[in-house]
C-alpha cells in the first residue's frame, strides 16, 4: 500500500493547526429545487440556507425507508451540486426515470448499514440506478454510512476532484467512470491505510484531500483560505489550468458517466502536460 503523500501530511498539519475547521457549507438555490420538487415543498423550505456535511448526515439517518431515503438523497445532492444550476434537474431525472427509485435507495442504505459502503457500492453496481454516477452515488453512500455508529461508518466519496488529486500526489489512477467495485474497494483500502497512519477516519481523509485539492486549484466554487499558499504566483497558471480540468470532469460526471469514459483519456493527457510544465 502506498505511503501517505507529503501533500496530505501537509494538509492535515495545516488543518490541525487551524483548529480542525469543518468544511464550509454548500450554497444552493432553494427556488430551483422547489421548482423541480414541488411534492417536497415543506421539506425543502425547512432546510437551512447552506448545507454542510453534518446536515446531510442528519437526514441520511432516516434513509432505511423509501420516504427517508428520497429526502436523504435530495439533501446529499443539494450539498453535492451546491449552486450548480443543473443539479435539481439531474437529481429529478434519477428519481423519475428509475422505477421505485426511492425504495431502491432505501435498499442500498440498508446494505450500507449492515455490510458497509463497499458492499453497498457493489449492490449499486449490480442493480444500477440510471443517470446516477459514481461521484454522486458515493456522496449518498458517505452520508448514509456516516449516520451510522457501526464499524461501517463513513465510507469515502470518490469524485473527479479526489481522483485528480490521487493522480497528481499519489500516482494512483482509478478507472472508475463506471461502477467498478474492485476499483472502489482499492480506493477505500488506500484511504483506510492512510487514515490509520494519520489517526483519522477514512472519510475525513477524503474530505481533507478534497479541500486541499480545490484550494490548490483556486476554484471559485469550492475555494477555501485555510490551505492557500502565502505566495501562489509561481504556480498560478498551472493551478488555473487544473481548476478548469476539474470543472470539466465534474460536468462529465454530473451529465452521463458513459461520456466521461471517452473524455477521461483526453483529460488525463492534458493533466500530464500541465504537470510536466509545472515541474519544468
Q: Read off the pLDDT of each residue in 109-138 and give the average, rounded to a whole number.
A: 95
Cα–Cα dist 49/25, whole Å: 9
Q: Are residues 136 and 206 in the same domain?
A: no
Q: How many whole angstroms separate alpha carbon 222 and alpha carbon 215? A: 7
CA angle 73, 253, 93 (to 5 degrees): 45
Q: Count up the domains in the chain and report the number.
A: 2
Instruction: Report the C-alpha gap between 32 and 88 in whole angstroms.
Output: 7
Residue with cell 450548480: 84
pTM equals: 0.80
C-alpha cell belonging to residue 177: 467512470
Burial of 3 (0-12, 13-18, 19+ CB in 10 A): exposed
Domain check: are 134 and 45 in the same one? yes
Query: Do 136 and 164 fall within a single domain?
Result: no
Report the run of H or E that residue 193 belongs to, with start and end. Answer: helix 181-198
Contact 68, 62 (CB under 8 A): yes
| Residue 135 confidence (pLDDT) | 93
Full domain range(s) for residue 124: 26-146
User: Is pLDDT above 70 for 48?
Assistant: yes
What's the pLDDT band for 4 if we cut at 50, 70, 90? very high
Q: Which has the higher per-residue pLDDT, 223 or 214?
A: 214
Q: Is residue 68 within 8 Å of residue 31, measured between CB atoms?
A: no
Domain final position from 97, 119, 146: 146
Helix axis angle for 87-96 and 66-81, nearest 10°, is 150
Both 69 and 112 in one domain: the answer is: yes
Separation of CA 172 from chain center: 17
Residue 221 pLDDT > 50: no
DSSP string, 123-182: HHHHSPPTT--HHHHHHHHHHHHHT--STT--PPP--HHHHHHHHHHH------SS--HH
Average pLDDT of the chain, as a whole number: 84
Domain shared by 101 and 70, yes or no: yes
In whole angstroms, what separates CA 271 from the centre of its chain?
20
Q: Using one digit for the tens of pLDDT, what is the confidence trace for 127-173?
A: 999 999 999 999 999 999 999 866 656 899 999 899 989 999 999 99
Q: Are residues 207 and 128 in the same domain?
A: no
Please check whether residue 128 lies inside any domain of the structure.
yes
Torsions phi, psi for 180 (to 5 deg): -115, 100
Amino acid at each position: 500500500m502506498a505511503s501517505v503523500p507529503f501533500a496530505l501530511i501537509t494538509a492535515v498539519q495545516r488543518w490541525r493547526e487551524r483548529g480542525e475547521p469543518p468544511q464550509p457549507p454548500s450554497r444552493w438555490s432553494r427556488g430551483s429545487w422547489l421548482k423541480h420538487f414541488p411534492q417536497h415543498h415543506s421539506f425543502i423550505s425547512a432546510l437551512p440556507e447552506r448545507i454542510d456535511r453534518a446536515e446531510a448526515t442528519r437526514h441520511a439517518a432516516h434513509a432505511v425507508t423509501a420516504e427517508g431515503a428520497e429526502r436523504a438523497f435530495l439533501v446529499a445532492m443539494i450539498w453535492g451540486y451546491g449552486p450548480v444550476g443543473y443539479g435539481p434537474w439531474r437529481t429529478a431525472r434519477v428519481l423519475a426515470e428509475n422505477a421505485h427509485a426511492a425504495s431502491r435507495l432505501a435498499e442500498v442504505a440498508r446494505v450500507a448499514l449492515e455490510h458497509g459502503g463497499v458492499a453497498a457500492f457493489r449492490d449499486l453496481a449490480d442493480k444500477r440506478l440510471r443517470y446516477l454516477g459514481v461521484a454522486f452515488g458515493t456522496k449518498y453512500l458517505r452520508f448514509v454510512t456516516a449516520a451510522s455508529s457501526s464499524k461501517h461508518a463513513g465510507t469515502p466519496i470518490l469524485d473527479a476532484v479526489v481522483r485528480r488529486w490521487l493522480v497528481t500526489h499519489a500516482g494512483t489512477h482509478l478507472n472508475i467512470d463506471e461502477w467498478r467495485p474492485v476499483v472502489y474497494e482499492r480506493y477505500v483500502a488506500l484511504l483506510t491505510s492512510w487514515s490509520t497512519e494519520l489517526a483519522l477516519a477514512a472519510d475525513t481523509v477524503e474530505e481533507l484531500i478534497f479541500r486541499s485539492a480545490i484550494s490548490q486549484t483556486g476554484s471559485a466554487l469550492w475555494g477555501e483560505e485555510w490551505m492557500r499558499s502565502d505566495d501562489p504566483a509561481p504556480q498560478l497558471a498551472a493551478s488555473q489550468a487544473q481548476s478548469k480540468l476539474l470543472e470539466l470532469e465534474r460536468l462529465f460526471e454530473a451529465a452521463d458517466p458513459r461520456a466521461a469514459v471517452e473524455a477521461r483519456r483526453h483529460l488525463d493527457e492534458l493533466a500530464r502536460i500541465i504537470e510536466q510544465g509545472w515541474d519544468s
